[in-house]
Amino acid sequence: MSAAGNPRVERVERVEAAGPVPAAVGESPVWRAAEQALYWVDIPAQKIVRLRLESGERSEWLLPEKVACIAFDRRGNVLAGCETGLFAVTLSDASAPLATQAEPVKVSGRKLAAPVFPFGDMRFNDGRCDRQGRFWAGTMVQDMAAANPAGALYRLDADGVLSAPVVDGLITQNGLGWSPDGSTMYLSDSHPLRRQIWAFDYDVETGEPRNRRVFADLNHYVGRPDGAAVDADGCYWICANDAGALLRFTPQGKLDRQINVPAIKPAMCAFGGRDLDTLFVTSIRPAAGASEHDGHLFAVRPGVSGLPEPEFAGDL
């Protein structure tokens, strides 16, 4: 195990099978063990992408609006957080790899729920299921320069009921994750004016987070806290956007690992692979000054395994 001041870089590889065209905003990687495939999104391109690791087959689906986060139900249907709400999406039409497709398969979705957005130009951002299969996702004003704290965190239960805002006052919601036993919930605000990660005591029976406290203040470290993953040891991995790094914090909030990645804006990470021992990292391509690696997908072997990604408990 390396110290926080000794970044590890030797285990990072760019996943060439993910394609030569970089994503504008690569987000929400999700490993689907039933398919041995990694899914992720490109938000402004309105795409969901799938890569079957063993065969290298890659498929794309085009949605009618921006898609920022995804989860699966037990039947393989997608729960997608988009611009205007949460949608149920079926991707079964794309059975052929992208190499044999003329273009991405166009799909639409059935709207499940939507909050009342307090401002225009808002959308969902980071989202995933808790250990019990409730789907959580937050909203944000798309113009980050406005630094508008109109964002909020919502919960969708298995019956399709969307909660009122559970956490409000967020500028750029991110960093959702749960401890292995589900009793701790993590949440971040990645806006440059915030750079905070919080922990909550989480009631696994009711889905209510309580006792919010600062878990890690990234103003004292590097980057902005974007998307996250929790490993089998209960440690919290956060993408340090603008710093080209992954940071791992122990359950006590101590930084014990830093791994540099070739992209300056890593966006979200997820454990996958047959043994859940690979940490996949999506990234964002800056509007100016981008390198050859920015916007691509990376794979890291950090020497620790992850946990299976929970599925949505309801039927979509």
The residue assigned the tokens 């190499």 is 99
Structure tokens at 118: 């307090």
Length of the chain: 316
The count of other CB atoms within 10 Å of the CB of residue 296 is: 24
Residue 308 token pair: 């299976």
The structure tokens 């929970």 sit at 310
Q: Which residues contact 233 (CB under 8 A, 6 or more apart)?
A: 304
The whole-angstrom separation of Cα 123 and Cα 138 is 8
| Torsion angle, alpha carbons of 246, 248, 249, 251, to 10 | 140
**Residue 219 annotated as binding site:** no
Using alpha carbons only, how large is the chain's radius of gyration in Å? 18
Q: Which residues pair with 187 in a beta bridge?
A: 198
17 three-state secondary structure: helix
123 a known binding residue? yes
Computed from CA positions of residues 3, 38, 41, 309, in that sequence, does the dihedral angle turn out positive or negative?
negative
Report, as residue numbers or ranges, the catalytic residues: 226
Q: Are 18 and 290 in contact (CB under 8 A)?
A: no
Phi and psi dihedrals of 115, rounded to 5? -80, 170
Please check if 125 is assigned to a binding site. Answer: yes
Distance of alpha carbon 1 from alpha carbon 166, whole angstroms: 37
143 is in an annotated binding site: yes
Known binding-site residues equal 27, 123, 125, 143, 174, 226
Known binding-site residues for substrate equal 123, 125, 143
Known binding-site residues for a divalent metal cation equal 27, 174, 226
